[in-house]
Amino acid sequence: MLVPSQLAGSAPSGVPQHWHDIDWCRVQQNVRAMQIRIAKACREGNWRRVKALQRMLTRSRSARYLAIRRVTENQGKRTAGVDRVLWDTPDAKWKAANGLKRHGYKPRPLRRVFIPKSNGKERPLGIPTMTDRAMQALYLLALAPIAETTGDPNSYGFRIERSTADAMGQLFVCLSKKASAQWVLEADIKGCFDHINHDWLIENVPTDKEILRKWLKAGVIHKGQLQATNAGTPQGGIISPTLANLVLDGLESQLKQHLGVTKAKKLKINVVRYADDFVITGSSKEMLENEIKPWVEQFLAVRGLQLSLEKTHVVHIDEGFDFLGWNFRKYGGKLLIKPAKKNVKAFYRKVKEVISTNKAVKQEELIRLLNPILRGWALYHQPVVAKKAYSRMDHQIFQALWRWAKRRHPNKSLDWVREKYFQTYENRSWVFATTVITESGGKEAIRLYALEATPIERHRKISGDFNPFDPSMEEMGEALRMSRMLGKLKYRKQILHLFQSQKGLCVLCKSPISRETGWHDHHIIYRSQGGGDSLDNRVLLHPICHQQLHARGLTVYKPAPPRGGFVKT
């Protein structure tokens, strides 16, 4: 295992003088320590102290560095706002970090873009400028501990270490038994992000009121015209999902408080929510329609929201319902969770589009385009009853690829087409595969990912009361992070080996590597200098640590004794 020595290159006072001088381990420790104090004050109901600690955190140098890092490393780092400015150099990031201040801050309008939805409609996104994104990320650092502490136990959308699979697991707990609730209110909020009441947000969200008001009233530029924003939070802002969660938090706790804990248990009331989609279980259809649904409508109306009439239904569990891409239904008293038909059709359309728009590419290129899509869909449905759906989808994709192959060679025989594009692998025939020459001159087989080969593995649900900012749950959080990362990496055996050998930590900064941080596979001796691809010559680093290593001329090494570090070359 590698143990890095202390970072060098900073000013004598310990204050960094350049972006790559920042000690990210210390930065993360400083921010997390303050977030833990905020969560503690929140649990104690000391809101005056919460406000003071939030102010201290948002004005700290460490929080500013971490906010800039987030917006320059996420997927939107190459998407500019209305000012067309990107922070794509270390100097630009350093200048932005030092200029990120509350005094004199005025957000720019959002840039309106539209992305297609699965139902054929378009979803409007509002793209903030880099400065506005960084300010949102900064204030989110101070708001997240409160959102996690006060959030409903069974709210799973846009929360740390929570996922759709956790929501599915909770529904299985609520519906799988013989004595479980038989009726379900399947609900959807109409245009949730677009209609949230600004006055309610400003009054109830525990953050800087003036800054929040500026974000909400910044306006949107669409087709060159400035449009006012009188309601809603922009989809595209870093802080928007957390604001939406804060608006809907209380749906579960206040409903049970309204009914009384004993009555809620007797009526088999359970609320499971993911973002603005939620379901409520109950013992009877009449009770859900006449008592629960009106209460929910009143709860939402105060916040400027209303239920979507076309997507809100009360159904019996024997009829089944769709939620988060899965179908929940009892067959002869046994609950089975399967990929929803709508989800399967949307996935096949996506695969078919990739195949039809790449009629002339090489076979290996088409396989490289398809494999991430296939693997991602298969792993999403891995915890449910999906074997039949996998098999059916494999057959449909084979038919599409067979048509793709025949179209390329209309004058060749079918046997010739089969031999060129399909191989036999292990116990499977008709495997869409080819052989390519590697950089070293050897041969490598590239095969299409087989959905049917994906093993079904039950998901271990997170505890509803888990709080990532509670020190007593630190061990639980680390174990959960490690197990989920190992699950994510099990199909990438070399990366998995490196991750395990480093105990899930970045070699340079000793902070955890996660799905959110990402990682780079670094060669200790560069391949251009003769270094090989063996595991002894590779380590996993955070992307920012990898950049820091190259910028400062550092190198990591793995000596024979269990000691190590990095030195300047």
Could you read off the pLDDT of 291-336 as tens digits, one per residue? 999 999 999 999 999 998 888 999 999 999 999 999 999 999 999 9
Half-sphere exposure of 466 (CA within 13 A, CB side): 22
Per-residue pLDDT band for 557 (boundaries 50, 70, 90) equals: low
Domain end, chosen from 451, 484, 501, is at 451
369 part of a folded domain: yes
Question: What is the average pLDDT score of the chain?
Answer: 89
Rounded CA-CA distance 81/232 in Å is 19
What are the CA-CA distances from residue 92 to residues 20, 66, 72, 85, 136 (Å)? 12, 15, 10, 10, 18
Taken in order 49, 53, 54, 59, is the CA torsion positive or negative? Answer: positive
Q: Which residue has the higher pLDDT, 485 or 431?
A: 431
**Among candidate residues 272, 305, 336, the one where a domain is terminated:** 336
Q: For residue 438, what pLDDT is reported? A: 74
Boundary residue ending a domain (389, 421, 451): 451
- CA separation for the pair 237, 216 (Å, rounded): 11
| Same domain, residue pair 184 and 310 | yes
Q: How far apart are CA 103 and CA 93, in angstroms?
A: 19
268 and 158, same structural domain? yes
User: Are residues 264 and 392 both part of a single domain?
Assistant: no
The answer to whether position 482 is within a domain reads yes
pLDDT, one tens digit per residue, over 319-328 is 999 999 999 9
DSSP 235: B
317 in the same domain as 345:
no
Where does the pLDDT of residue 569 fall: very low under 50, low under 70, confident under 90, or very high at 90 and above?
A: very low
Same domain for 317 and 385?
no
Q: What would the two tokens of residue 411 be? A: 């004058």
Give the strand pairing for 220-222 and 110-116: parallel
Cβ(233)–Cβ(124) under 8 Å? Answer: no
Give a yes or no: residue 127 inside a domain.
no
Is residue 293 domain-shared with residue 365, that is, in the same domain?
no
Q: Is the pTM of this model over 0.75?
A: yes
**How far is the CA of 62 from the CAs of 16, 56, 506, in angstroms?**
11, 11, 19
175 is in which domain, residue-wise?
150-196+231-336
Q: How far is CA 422 from the centre of its chain?
A: 36
Q: If we measure between CA atoms, which residue out of 522, 527, 451, 461 comes closest to residue 491?
A: 451
- pLDDT tens, residue by residue, 365-396: 999 999 999 999 999 999 999 999 999 999 99
- Residue 310 sits in the same domain as residue 380: no
Model pLDDT, residue 5: 37
**Long-range contacts of 372-378, Cβ-Cβ distance < 8 Å, separation of 24 or more:** 374/448, 374/449, 374/451, 375/449, 375/491, 377/347, 377/451, 378/449, 378/451, 378/454
Q: What is the CA radius of gyration of the chain?
A: 26
Same domain, 329 and 353: no
CATH number at residue 295: 3.30.70.270
Structural domain contains residue 167: yes
Beta bridge partners of 464: none
Query: Which CATH number belongs to the domain containing residue 514 in this structure?
Result: 3.40.1800
Cα torsion for 471, 477, 478, 481, to the nearest 10°?
Answer: -150
Distance CA 224, CA 100 (A): 27
Co-location of 526 and 420 in the same domain: no
Q: Is residue 447 part of a domain?
A: yes
Q: Is residue 360 part of a domain?
A: yes
**pLDDT value of residue 12:** 41
Token couple for 471? 């020190």
The yes-or-no verdict on residue 560 having pLDDT over 60 is no
Please name the amino acid found at residue 328: F
Is beta strand 270-274 parallel, antiparallel or unpaired with respect to 225-227? unpaired
In a domain, 217, yes or no: no
Asked if residue 45 belongs to a domain, the reply is no
Together in a domain, 354 and 429: yes
What are 557's strand-pairing partners? Answer: 565
Whether 567 shows a pLDDT value over 50: the answer reads: no
pLDDT in tens, 212-229: 999 999 999 888 888 888
Count: domains in the chain: 3
Query: Tokens for 72?
Result: 């320059």
Are 245 and 368 contained in the same domain? no
Rounded Cα distance, 293 and 278, in Å: 12
Q: What is the mean pLDDT of residues 142-168?
A: 95
Same domain for 295 and 343, yes or no, is no
Residue 408 identity (one-letter amino acid): R
